[in-house]
A and B are shown apart, each in its own frame.
Chain A
Amino acid sequence: MKKLEDIPKKDPFKAPDGYFDQLPGIIQARITKPKSHTIWIPVLKFALPVVAFIAAGVFWFSDQATQPFEDQLAGINTEELIAYLDNTEFAWEDTEEITEWNEDDVLDFEDRVYSTFTTDNSDLDLLENELIELENL
């Protein structure tokens, strides 16, 4: 039987040359590495989905708000719109209260209405004759 004490005692494992010169520096670099990176990773893991969710919400609602009025109107079902108008008492008084007409607005409105008339002198003569005939009756 082979005895352990017959074998010369020696450590057979050798580190590569220069290993122990470099190791303290490597360890020093690891322990002095800024910790912010490792601290922020767990925070970001939860914060990023929240930020992404909020960004998606902002984008969605801003997109809704900027959609052209005509497009929004086209999206409404005609039958639903008629039903809504039939069942809703529209208060004209409210709109009149909101709209304030001054004298310039009235004159401007008058000009715009008159400008839509396409009359020439013959029309005016005809109207004038009709007025005379009415007066003679």
Chain B
Amino acid sequence: MEDKDLLLKIRNPETRNYGFNLLVRAYQQRVYGHVRKMVIDHDDADDVTQEVFIKVHKAINGFREDSQLFTWIYRIATNECLTFLNKKRKRFFLPIEDISGQLAGKLDAMPELSGDEIQKKLQKALLTLPDKQRAVFNMKYFDELSYEDMSRITSTSVGALKASFHHAVKKIEDYLSAD
């Protein structure tokens, strides 16, 4: 079903719940995947993903169709991830490096990464990046979004995003070459 039809169902009071259920089914995997790469832990990703869709539900009536539904949802998801990580830091009075260390510890404990050392190392390299740069890298590298879509999601210019991604790649390759 196209976004236009989904929105029509959601905006009709009689089919609102059904339409929103379809929206969740259509976007849940992409939203969860994006969130999970940012917060690493599944339980945290579950909480944040739910919050993303609750916010989407609250704000859907104000959604203007001059942007794609997907980029709008992605923008909410990115903001929720950044807010979550900031709160986590404040709650435990942690600097950036310490929360990265904490998340790296979670990577070591993940069964799906056991035996795949190169992927684990790549993920640890990503944790050395600032949160916003990590989000930019994930959107470009893993989700293969266009710079134009990323620009709408992050409200950042295409040039700045290209530079941010280029620097991220450089840092990651330095990390991978370190040992």
> Which residues in A have some Cβ–Cβ distance to B below 8 Å?
1-4, 7-16, 19-20, 23-24, 26-28, 30-32
Once the chains are docked, how many angstroms separate the CA of A24 from the CA of B18?
11
B112 interface contact, C-beta 8 A? yes
Residue B74 lies at the interface, judged by CB distance under 8 Å to chain A: no
Q: How far in angstroms is the closest Cβ of chain B from A39?
A: 15
**B132 CB–A CB distance under 8 Å:** no
Cα(A45)–Cα(B141), bound, Å: 49
Chain A residues, CB < 8 A from B110: 13
Residues from chain A with a CB closer than 8 A to the CB of B9 are: none
CB within 8 Å for A23 and B17 given contacts A12-B123, A13-B112, A31-B57? no
State in angstroms the CA–CA spacing of A59 and B13 once bound together.
50
Q: Which residues of B contact A (CB under 8 A)?
A: 17, 20-21, 24-25, 28-29, 32-33, 36-37, 40, 42, 45-46, 49-50, 53-54, 57, 110, 112-113, 116, 118-120, 122-123, 141-142, 169, 172-174, 176-177
Separation of A49 and B26 alpha carbons in the complex (Å): 48
Q: Known pairs A12-B123, A15-B29, A27-B24. 19 more at Cβ < 8 A? A: A1-B174, A1-B177, A3-B173, A4-B169, A8-B118, A11-B33, A16-B42, A19-B32, A19-B46, A20-B28, A23-B50, A24-B21, A27-B57, A28-B17, A28-B20, A28-B24, A30-B50, A30-B54, A31-B54
In the complex the two chains form, is A2's CB within 8 Å of B177's CB? yes
| B172 near A4: Cβ-Cβ < 8 Å | yes
Secondary structure call for the A interface: loop
Q: How far is the CA of A31 from the CA of B55 in the complex (A)?
A: 10
A-B contact pairs, 16 of them (CB 8 A): A1-B174, A2-B177, A3-B173, A7-B118, A8-B118, A11-B37, A12-B116, A13-B37, A13-B42, A15-B32, A15-B45, A20-B32, A24-B21, A27-B54, A28-B17, A31-B20
Assembled-state Cα–Cα distance A101/B171 (Å): 111
A7 to B176, CA, bound (A): 10
Chain B residue with Cβ nearest A32: B17
> Given the complex of chains A and B, what is the CA–CA distance between A67 and B20 in angstroms?
65
B36 touches A28 (CB 8 A): no
Counting from the closest, the 5 A-B pairs by CB-CB distance are A2-B176, A24-B24, A1-B177, A12-B119, A13-B36
The listed residue with most B CB atoms (<10 A of its CB), out of A1, A10, A12, A14, is A12
A27 CA to B29 CA, complexed, in Å:
14
- Is B122 a contact of A7 with CB atoms below 8 Å? yes
